[in-house]
Structure 1
Amino acid sequence: MNLLNIALMALTLVLSCSSGDNDTNDSPSALDLNITLIGSSDSNPNGDGSGRVQVKAAAENAVRYAFRFENGDQIDSPSGTMEYTFTQTGTHSYSIVAWAYSENGSFTTETLTVEVFKSDEQFTTLVFEDEFEYEGAPNPEKWHHQTIPPDNGNWHNGELQHYTERPENSSVEDGTLKINVFKEQYTTSGSTKEYTSARLNSKFAFTYGRVEVRAKLPESGGTWPAIWTLGVDVNETGNYFGDQFGAVGWPLSGEIDIMEQTGGDKNSIISHFHWGDLNTEEYKNEGGTAPVSNASSEYHVYVMEWSADSIKTFVDDTMVYELTNSENKPFNHDHYLILNVAMGGNLGGEVPESFSQDTFEIDYVRIYQ
């Protein structure tokens, strides 16, 4: 063998070893970064004023991703998708950096620049309302009566009522919606209960905004009035207004109790949050209470202000509770509003023998974004 052939064989061996030791076939490649400005349109090219963007990264051979916004810390995102809210008001240009990582730790990166508008005015556009300035049944284009008990003819939490869509239990008259509770035997879905009431779910779902409900609460012991939301969870029929849950179910759907009142304390209200952690599916809950004077004889305004950063509840101008919002909570997706009065159960407690009837009276419902 001549020296030239020996040299060529040696070079081939070196190249083969180099390729094996530094194999780049598993490195991420073709990183695609997409940024969506929430509410962007021809008239609002930089977004709807919320300051929110959705980012999505995808790359071949990537097992995890990370993002950086506003020169801040790197934020991990296993799925490569996340939402971020810029806080500086006005229209500003921002660089968004994405990384895609392979199993061996190698990465590729991509940077895009976007202009985002953040308004200093929140919740100024009325997107849903019912002033109840009509007579008769609640507007069927806005409200769904949930009447089918979800648990073998029973409602959850040990409640003692059946919900109906009869005019006796819910009607609009003299400028207000009245949800009436009666002591009476009523049979449906194979079970008989000693009380009737109504549960109205809004046929409007929304993400973020300000909810205002002006109402007077029932005064009787054992009554459990509530203004609350559940996360939209579309079932196979496309119905997300509460007759049944879809694949996700509770608590992963999320629940926001803007106002609840126990049957034994009519001088205070509760705001509470229930959810399943979107990463671990572990059940979580937080909440607080606030005093309310003359809740049954005078109107008060029960409020929720919901953003990507937090959810705040108020009675009139007094904050009841603030929950920090985050990506692992199901509070960055559509919810719908619920108005109802339950009887007894976990929060209603013991119903007095003397109870005969009571009313939850709602002057208006308004949702702003």
Structure 2
Amino acid sequence: MSIFNISLLSLLFALSCSSGDSDTATTPSNLTVDIALVGANENNPNGDGSGRVEITASANNAVRYAFRIGNGDQIESESGTLEHTFYQNGTNTYNIVVWAYSQSGSFINESYAVEVYRSDEAFATLVFSDEFESAGRPDGDKWHYQIIPPNNGSWHNGELQHYTDREDNSFVSDGTLKIKAKKEQYSYNGSTKEYTSARLNTKFAFTYGRVEVRAKLPSTAGTWPAIWTLGANVNETGNYFGDQYGSVGWPLCGEIDIMEQTGWDKNSTISHFHWGDLNTEEYMDDGGETAVANASGEYHIYSMEWDGNSIKTYVDDTLVFELPNTSNKPFNEEHYLILNVAIGGNLGGDVPTNFTEDTFEIDYVRIYQ
């Protein structure tokens, strides 16, 4: 990624400067602001078409900063950094106001005008994919089996299954990945469960992009299929990324449920977001649902578009939910993708006594940036 500081292009200029306190001893001074257009160079002075800008501010005596993009709300930042994406196509001029605050609350601010190029070809580069063309076990260079239960032999949310790395529970055949939930006694690490299934994590982490998963969902009550992400900094046991990089727990890592389906309603799907506020650590969640016709008999495309401003989830072309993305949410760091089928639990519900097995079938997984 090439970043060209627009101050070298004379594209930013100070329009105003003010102070909220006459006490010059504590008022910040020497406010310096760099606004970098992602991918800018001499041939593309207004950026690479992503519409992304990276803003860095510093000032003497400043303990925090704030930014306003256009007519939007003020965005707080202790570090003095902010990433923002503009979505209006073409080359457009935007106003950016930056504040620097002292401990006493006095401030200085400056306003800048910046020209940014945005192309509707965003998310055009394929950075990860699996078309599931090779029969047998899922590609070990792309997928990690998460089989170690974190809660004394059990998974979260009251789920009833053991996850395994056996081909009985996950395999590729006829051009699709099958994740199969089965009723069978299975023991792992001294714990015996009545059901088995599989949970596959990508060995690829990414920040921002478009995720597409074309899939058929299981039809049997009690099954809980999901396409979702966790922050790669999660410290969950047995997770490929957590084992290497884990530093925070859930929900501070952030969770994006692109698609979940309950065990009792097979005619709709859910998109939901869980996170811990990075400033207060307070648990937060939000989401929505949409009707999906014949989710088990036909393929549908479950997708997400994620950037620094928002996260949007879709079923085919239908928007399910849009969550504003802000600096106090853990959705500006790397996440990895998870595919699984749980049995029972909070969203699986009651499992019929005559349940034997059912399958979550995935035609492809594609991630674009």
Rounded Cα–Cα distance in structure 1 between residues aligned with 2:98 and 2:282: 29
Aligned AA (1:139): D
- Residue 345 of structure 1 and its aligned partner are, at CA, apart by 0.5
Q: Pick closer, same or farther for the CA change 1:287–1:110 going to 2, 3 Å.
A: closer
Say whether residues 1:330 and 2:324 are aligned partners.
Answer: no
- Residue 264 of structure 1 and its aligned partner are, at CA, apart by 1.4
Rounded Cα–Cα distance in structure 1 between residues aligned with 2:291 and 2:234: 37
Rounded Cα–Cα distance in structure 2 between residues aligned with 1:42 and 1:240: 41
3-state DSSP of counterpart to 1:241: helix
Q: Pick closer, same or farther for the CA change 1:344–1:208 going to 2, 3 Å.
A: same
Q: Which residue of 1 aligns with 2:291?
A: 291
Q: Pick closer, same or farther for the CA change 1:198–1:244 going to 2, 3 Å.
A: farther
Aligned AA (2:340): N
Deviations 1:58-100 (A, max 9, x none): 2332122233444767544333222222344333555644332
Rounded Cα–Cα distance in structure 2 between residues aligned with 1:235 and 1:252: 10
Q: Is the 8 A contact 1:202 1:241 kept in 2?
A: no
Deviations 1:29-50 (A, max 9, x none): 4444333333456875543422
Q: Which residue of 1 aligns with 2:80?
A: 80
Q: Is the 8 A contact 2:178 2:359 kept in 1?
A: yes
Write the mapping of 1:271-286 to structure 2, written as runs, cut at 5 A: 271-286=271-286
Deviations 1:304-327 (A, max 9, x none): 222333222222222222223222
Say whether residues 1:123 and 2:123 are aligned partners.
Answer: yes
Q: Pick closer, same or farther for the CA change 1:79–1:132 going to 2, 3 Å.
A: same
Rounded Cα–Cα distance in structure 2 between residues aligned with 1:173 and 1:43: 47
3-state DSSP of counterpart to 2:347: helix
3-state DSSP of counterpart to 1:347: helix
Q: Pick closer, same or farther for the CA change 1:262–1:69 going to 2, 3 Å.
A: closer
Q: Pick closer, same or farther for the CA change 1:137–1:48 going to 2, 3 Å.
A: farther
Q: Is the 8 A contact 1:144 1:241 kept in 2?
A: no
Write the mapping of 1:1-369 to structure 2, written as runs, cut at 5 A: 24-40=24-40, 46-70=46-70, 75-92=75-92, 96-109=96-109, 114-233=114-233, 241-242=241-242, 246-369=246-369
Q: Is the 8 A contact 2:146 2:240 kept in 1?
A: no
Q: Which region of structure 1 is more displaced relative to structure 2, 93-102 or 273-282? A: 93-102
Q: Pick closer, same or farther for the CA change 1:269–1:45 going to 2, 3 Å.
A: same
- Residue 121 of structure 1 and its aligned partner are, at CA, apart by 2.7
Q: Pick closer, same or farther for the CA change 1:87–1:150 going to 2, 3 Å.
A: same
Aligned AA (1:103): Q
Identity score, percent: 71
Deviations 1:111-164 (A, max 9, x none): 666543211333222221111111111111111111111112210000011111
Q: Pick closer, same or farther for the CA change 1:40–1:158 going to 2, 3 Å.
A: farther
CA RMSD of aligned residues (A): 2.7
3-state DSSP of counterpart to 2:215: strand
Rounded Cα–Cα distance in structure 2 between residues aligned with 1:234 and 1:291: 32
Q: Is the 8 A contact 1:150 1:244 kept in 2?
A: no
Q: Is the 8 A contact 1:148 1:243 kept in 2?
A: no
Aligned AA (1:136): G
Rounded Cα–Cα distance in structure 2 between residues aligned with 1:290 and 1:236: 30
Q: Is the 8 A contact 1:201 1:242 kept in 2?
A: no
Q: Pick closer, same or farther for the CA change 1:271–1:97 going to 2, 3 Å.
A: closer
Rounded Cα–Cα distance in structure 2 between residues aligned with 1:68 and 1:351: 51
Equivalenced residue count is 347
Q: Pick closer, same or farther for the CA change 1:345–1:235 going to 2, 3 Å.
A: closer
Rounded Cα–Cα distance in structure 2 between residues aligned with 1:48 and 1:93: 16
Q: Pick closer, same or farther for the CA change 1:43–1:252 going to 2, 3 Å.
A: farther
- Residue 211 of structure 1 and its aligned partner are, at CA, apart by 1.4
Q: Pick closer, same or farther for the CA change 1:99–1:322 going to 2, 3 Å.
A: closer
Q: Pick closer, same or farther for the CA change 1:70–1:350 going to 2, 3 Å.
A: closer
Rg larger for: 1
Gap runs ≥5 in structure 1: 1-21
Q: Pick closer, same or farther for the CA change 1:43–1:104 going to 2, 3 Å.
A: same
Q: Is the 8 A contact 1:66 1:100 kept in 2?
A: yes
Gap runs ≥5 in structure 2: 1-21
Aligned AA (2:90): G
Aligned AA (1:288): G
Task: Give the TM-score, by structure 1 length.
Answer: 0.84
Q: Pick closer, same or farther for the CA change 1:25–1:199 going to 2, 3 Å.
A: same
Q: Which region of structure 1 is more displaced relative to structure 2, 109-118 or 267-276? A: 109-118
Rounded Cα–Cα distance in structure 2 between residues aligned with 1:367 and 1:130: 9
Q: Is the 8 A contact 2:84 2:309 kept in 1?
A: no
Aligned AA (2:99): W
Q: Pick closer, same or farther for the CA change 1:282–1:358 going to 2, 3 Å.
A: same
Rounded Cα–Cα distance in structure 1 between residues aligned with 2:71 and 2:226: 43
